[in-house]
Amino acid sequence: MDADRFDPSVPLCILHVDGSANEQGCGAGLVLTTPDRSKVEYALQFNFRTSNNEAEYEALFAGLQLARSMSDKQINIHSDSQLIVKDFAAKDASMSAYLSASHQLLQKFQAYEIWQIPRSENSHADALSRLASAINDKIGRKVPVEILSQPSAKTLRCVPYGTRTYGCLQFTPS
């Protein structure tokens, strides 16, 4: 942690990261909250096999690169991975390379902190990583998400997709 270099006059961004490796595939998810409170969500699917630990580091790298591309100078990183937070000694060449690369990326920030949080507080990044690791190559990459404010059985619903609207239906309860 490099918390003593935090400057209260410099905007701070918050990064939540998670990696996922399972039988279906490997992926990472991240949510970057900018200083103005907007959220940038990102899901990465890997075309290569990783361990879960490697997927966690891939998520961290993607998030740090995104933050740097947005000119963020100070960052709080939140992860449910003990490996990322505690900076354990690497046990093999692959993990040693990830550890070294993460230190190089972190040094590009004026200040940073890494916090371990409960999995329940990292659910947004976790959902993105699980989506990325499980997505089927044959479906489209854009997944529209609609938020319903009331049950569909009581309202007129039109299904939007891109710039077009499909299927306006009126449900009447019986």
What pLDDT, on the 0 to 100 scale, is given for residue 169? 46
Q: Is residue 95 part of a domain?
A: yes
| pLDDT score at 120 | 94
User: Angle between the 93-106 and 52-69 helix axes, to the nearest 10 degrees?
Assistant: 20
pLDDT for residue 140? 52
pLDDT of residue 8: 87
Compute the half-sphere exposure of residue 40: CA atoms within 13 Å on the CB side of its CA: 16
Instruction: For residue 169, give the H/E element and its range.
Output: strand 164-170
In a domain, 107, yes or no: yes
> pLDDT at position 95, please?
82
| Res 163: pLDDT | 54
* Residue 96 falls inside a structural domain: yes
Contact 129, 29 (CB under 8 A): yes
Identify whether 159 is part of a domain: no
In 3D space, the residue among 172, 169, 173 whose CA is nearest the CA of residue 156 turns out to be: 169
Could you tell me if 31 and 40 are in contact, meaning their C-beta atoms sit under 8 angstroms apart?
yes
11 CB contacts (<8 Å, ≥6 apart)?
34, 35, 72, 73, 74
In a domain, 171, yes or no: no
Continuous H helices in the chain: 52-69, 82-86, 93-106, 123-134
**Which tokens go with 6?**
């935090």
Asked, for residue 162, whether it belongs to a domain, the answer is no
Expressed as residue numbers, the domain containing 19 is 3-142
- Is the residue at 166 inside a domain? no
Q: Which two tokens stand for residue 147?
A: 């938020």
Residue 40 lies in a domain: yes
Instruction: Look up the pTM and report it.
Output: 0.77
Residue 99 confidence (pLDDT): 85
- CATH number assigned to the domain comprising residue 67: 3.30.420.10
Q: What is the number of structural domains in the chain?
A: 1
- Mean pLDDT in order along the chain per 10 residues (174 residues): 75 94 90 93 88 91 91 94 77 83 91 94 93 70 60 56 48 44
